[in-house]
Amino acid sequence: MGPGKSHHAQEVAQDNNINYIIDDGLLIYKNKVIAGKSAKTEPTKIGSVKAAIFNDETRCELMKKALNSSKPDKILVLGTSDGMVQKITNNLGMPKIINTIYIQEIATEEEMNEAKRVRIQEGKHVVPVPTLEIKEQFSGYFLDPLKIFEKKNKVFHEKSIIRPTFSYLGNFYISDKVIKDVVFHATNDIEGMSKLLKINIQKFVDGINLFLDINVTYGYNIPRVTKILQTAITKEVVNATGINIFSINVRVKGIDIKNK
């Protein structure tokens, strides 16, 4: 398969009664990631290619273990060329390829050209799993859901559109200031919260912890206010940045009495 391969992966799998897909370092079972780490998380394009073909010994062994545990009867292996698919199957010790489906057989020329344009000009890639499934592997990446209803009573699919750090558009990061601005916006209208005093951010490769100091308005239930605060912040930060939040630690420093 070629440009647009991931976009049509679920459709091809369904038409051929295949429950398992290997794509960009991931093992996908019925629209759910069950093993692997996306090759798109690699910092360079070369690193991504090596990860996608399981050239890394650790990735390769983990995927072999997952395949032995799942024991799939059929697998759809996605690649940009016959050679790439052959390398994947060889590295993973998989049986001989029995059927090859090329992108020209399932996609129009217009679809292939558009897929290539989006990849080159916008640096976006489609992964054949829902955003919720893959978001935790792409903390802080630009990531949007792509919902598709197939024809002829086929099932509904949701795919994820991501922009890897090795994109032609260059690297990017989300600054602490942006995160703090989003947090401030989320807390602006919380009833019972008087003042946001301080925000500290603890960063990890795959997510963050937040530490907040606040003042609460006199007369409000403090545990309830902090719970509402945590929920609002989680929703806003995840929606705005795609960053995983491991914890939101709220410390109440004081109680303010509103003037009549």
CA distance linking residue 260 with residue 250, whole number of Å = 27
Q: Which residues contact 8 (CB under 8 A, 6 or more apart)?
A: 1, 103, 106, 107
Tens of pLDDT along 95-148? 989 899 887 787 777 767 766 665 555 555 555 555 444 555 655 554 444 444
Is the pTM of the predicted complex or chain greater than 0.85?
no
CA distance linking residue 254 with residue 168, whole number of Å = 49
Tokens of 142: 């630009």
pLDDT score for 226? 94
pLDDT score for 214? 94
Tens of pLDDT along 214-248? 999 999 999 999 999 999 998 888 777 767 788 99
Tokens of 83: 């050679």
CA 198 centroid distance within chain: 30
pLDDT score for 102? 85
Phi/psi region, residue 69 (left: phi>0; alpha: psi -120 to 50; beta: rest), is: alpha
Neighbours of 57 (CB within 10 A): 9
pLDDT score for 29? 87
List Cα–Cα distances, 4 to 97, 105, 117, 137, 157, in angstroms.
21, 12, 11, 22, 15
Tens of pLDDT along 35-58? 888 777 777 778 888 888 999 888
All domains in the chain, ordered by first residue? 5-163 (no CATH), 176-256 (3.30.70.1350)
Neighbours of 228 (CB within 10 A): 16
pLDDT score for 168? 44
Spell out a b/e string for 61-89, using b for 16 or more CB atoms within 10 Å of the CB, else e.
ebbbebbeeeebeebbbbbeeeebbebbb
pLDDT score for 56? 86
Tens of pLDDT along 1-18? 444 455 677 778 888 899
Q: Please determine, for residue 170, whether its predicted confidence score (pLDDT) is greater than 60.
A: no
Strand pairing report for 75-77 and 125-127:
unpaired
Tokens of 236: 């806003």
Tokens of 65: 């273990």
